[in-house]
Structure 1
Amino acid sequence: MRQFPWDDLQYFLAVAQEGKLSSAARRLRTSHVTVARRIERLEQGIGAKLFQRSPTGYTLTPMGQRLMEPAQAMALEADKMLSVVGDGALPLTGVIRLSVPEGYGNFFIAEKLPHFASQYPNLTIEMVNIQQIVSLSRREADVSVSLSTPKAGSYHFEKISSYILYVYASRDYLARNRAIKQREDLAGHPFIGYIEDMIFTPELNYLGEIIPGLRPSYQTSSVFAQLKACRAGYGLCVLPYYMGAMFDDLVAVMPRIIPIHRDYWLVCHNDMIDAARIRPLIEFIRRETNTAREWFNGFPKQFV
């Protein structure tokens, strides 16, 4: 029986998930030459090709696809072993990929996550805030802060906070346009919102809750771009309170009449919840989000 190079499986997983040697090398904090050498050694040990090489990257062969599930299982068992050994006995290493909604990512957790990373210098933290391109079910992320709960699969999920959104407009826009005195008046104003056929979760479809059939005349897939358009004076926009409250030039419109309520959920696979490298991040997200509950659910000081 051939000697199996178990240690090389982490290189296999990194290349399989990243698709490129250079990306896998950055993730593992090594050189692409080392990654290539380890993949070659693993293939020699198994006696089969695991990847198809091409100018665009590496894709799994049928044998590579067969190896993915047991390799992921071994990685999870290694994490569990660290949990058994005990906190602080060994430095936590590896990569954690966190998937977050754009608003929560850019306007809340992004300034806090570096403090977590500095406490665990041997961990590589990846924050993906374009949530629609990352699939938790395909294990493209380890942990997700989501706007909804999974509909199927073996997941741990917990509500970490509710949050409130309001309709906002710039002071300049409100000064230049007819007054908004009742809900029906909103239909006469242009709205900024998401591109309708790119809304990846019903929780982002706000406008129908304001007025049935209301459609945005300026559409973008980015809430940051929506914020920019609103501050530029294009029209009205639905924004989380914790975003709108950051800018003195934004005014909430009828916030007592039109609050929109949503929730943030922490989601990960059941077999990851107690993994040694994952658990500290989950606890960090819980703590930071819980501390900011009032900020997520505030009421605007400036409104009409």
Structure 2
Amino acid sequence: MNWDDLRLLLDVSRHPRLADVAARTGLDATTISRRLRRLETDLGLELFERTSKGHLLTPAGQAVADKAEGLEHSAAEIAGLSETEGPLAAGRVRLGVTEGLGSLLIAPAMARFAAQAPHIGLDIIAVSGFVSVPKREADMSIMLTRPKTGRLKVRKLSDYVLQLYAHPDYLARNGRVRTVADLAEHDLIGYVDDLIYSSQLRYHEDIMPGLTPRFCSPSIVAQWQMAREGAGIAVLPHFIAGHDPQLTSVLPEAVRIERAFWLAVHEDIHATSRARAVNAFLDELFASSTDRLIGSA
């Protein structure tokens, strides 16, 4: 029995479609399928049910996966022993983060991180959604809600504020917004409802029940660009739009939405020197970005 095949079993248990595993591992789907069958032969067990939804674990496969996760955890602990007290922070960390935060606050600070931690590689997985730390899609993840399950160390990073923004030309064409009720007569920009990945993103209901965006995207960067080009009024984080000269705040006294960022770190790496280095970098970055995140109350 090959440990690499067991790790592949874990990958497939977490991502049932072989095409997804192929993209993550660099192996082709044929090789993955062959290695899974080899593992089944070695163990004398049927580990997967091949379905239209991908490779789903059989009861025997789940039992093997549970044992393999224990081995994975032990291997991570062993690998971390030399890092926990080691003076040199080195290695690679995968950080999951929301698209806007990753692209517009964290990515521009990479030169600073490179100077602080010259031996650490950092993968910033900035997407319209979350990557899972418990499923080992990331080592650390910045989230909009505090996760309640999983082998995680969780702490609050920062509050942040969202407000309404529009291009002055849009307001000149469509009229100023004097009250919250006026928003019902305007073109609003927001998320695609059935693609919303967190209840914390349902802003319009918080502003006024019944408000429905006309122009939608799962990408906050796309929403920002729509507003910048005069398509309508968008709910945007202050760290994205607050200092954008092409946008003006709409109803700043009446509409101020507060949310928070939470950092989740897998227990296997939270005490390692590389995780501590990334933690320190994030703390410094968020502390120095308070005005961008919160603005003036």
TM-score by length of 1: 0.75
Name the SS for the 1:226 alignment partner.
helix
After superposition, the Cα gap between the structure-2 partners of 1:46 and 1:97, relative to the gap in structure 1 and judged at 3 Å, is farther
C-alpha distance in structure 2 between counterparts of 1:98 and 1:145, whole Å: 8
The CA distance in 2 between the partners of 1:273 and 1:248, in whole Å, is 40
**Which deviations, in whole Å up to 9, do the C-alpha atoms of 1:85-139 show, x marking residues without a partner?**
2455898557x44322221122222334577578346x5736151325x444544
Alignment of 1:116-155 (within 5 A): 119-120=118-119, 125=123, 127-132=125-130, 134-155=131-152
Q: How far has the Cα of 1:244 moved from its partner? A: 0.7
Give the letter for the 2:23 counterpart.
S
Structure 1 position 164 matched with structure 2 position 165: no
**How many residues align structurally?**
291
When residues 119 and 77 of structure 1 are mapped into structure 2, their CA distance, relative to the original with a 3 A threshold, is farther
Cα 1:280–1:40 change in 2 (3 A) is: farther
Select which of 198, 207, 212 maps to 2:209.
212
Structure 2 vs 1, CA of residues 199 and 6 (structure 1 numbering), >3 Å: closer, same or farther?
closer
Q: Establish whether residue 189 from structure 1 lines up as the match of residue 186 from structure 2.
A: yes
Output the CA distance in 1 between the equivalents of 2:90 and 2:62. Answer: 28
| Paired residues of 2:49 and 2:56 also in contact (CA < 8 A) | yes
The match for 1:235 is: 232
Mapped contact 2:145–2:261 kept (Cα < 8 A): yes
Match for residue 295 of structure 2 among 272, 292, 298: 298
Residue-by-residue CA offset, 1:54-97 (whole Å, 9 max, x unaligned) = 99976656544323233233333233234332455898557x44
Q: Find the aligned partners of 2:288 and 2:3 in 1 and give their Cα distance.
A: 42
Query: Corresponding residue for 1:289?
Result: 286
Q: Counterpart of 1:72 in 2: which secondary structure? A: helix
| TM-superposition CA deviations, 1:197-235 (whole Å, max 9, x none) | 332322111112322322212222221221122122121
CA displacement, residues 150-205 of structure 1 (integer Å, 9 cap, x when unaligned): 24455422110111111000021122122223333333222111122332322111
In 2, Cα distance between equivalents of 1:74 and 1:261: 42
Which amino acid in structure 1 is aligned with residue 294 of structure 2? N
User: Which of 233, 252, 257 is the matching residue for 1:255?
Assistant: 252
- Distance in 2, Cα, partners of 1:147 & 1:286: 17
Q: Which amino acid aligns with 2:154?
A: F
The Cα shift of 1:7 comes to 6.2
Root mean square deviation, CA, Å: 3.9
Structure 2 length normalisation: TM-score? 0.77
Q: Which moved more, 1:291-300 or 1:222-231?
A: 291-300
Task: Return the alpha-carbon distance in structure 2 between the equivalents of residues 154 and 262 of structure 1.
Answer: 24
> Percent of counterpart pairs with the same letter?
33
Question: Which secondary structure does the structure 2 equivalent of 1:108 belong to?
Answer: helix
Residues 89 and 52 of structure 1: is their aligned pair in 2 closer, same or farther, counting only changes over 3 Å? farther
- Residue 158 of structure 2 aligns to a residue whose secondary structure is strand
**Structure 1: stretches of 5+ with no match in the other structure:** none
- SS of the aligned residue for 2:123 comes to strand
Cα distance in structure 2, aligned partners of 1:151 and 1:245: 32
Cα distance change on mapping 1:70 and 1:142 into 2, 3 Å: farther
Deviates more, 1:163-172 or 1:212-221: 212-221
How many angstroms apart in 2 are the aligned matches of 1:9 and 1:206? 43
- State the AA in 2 paired with 1:227: W
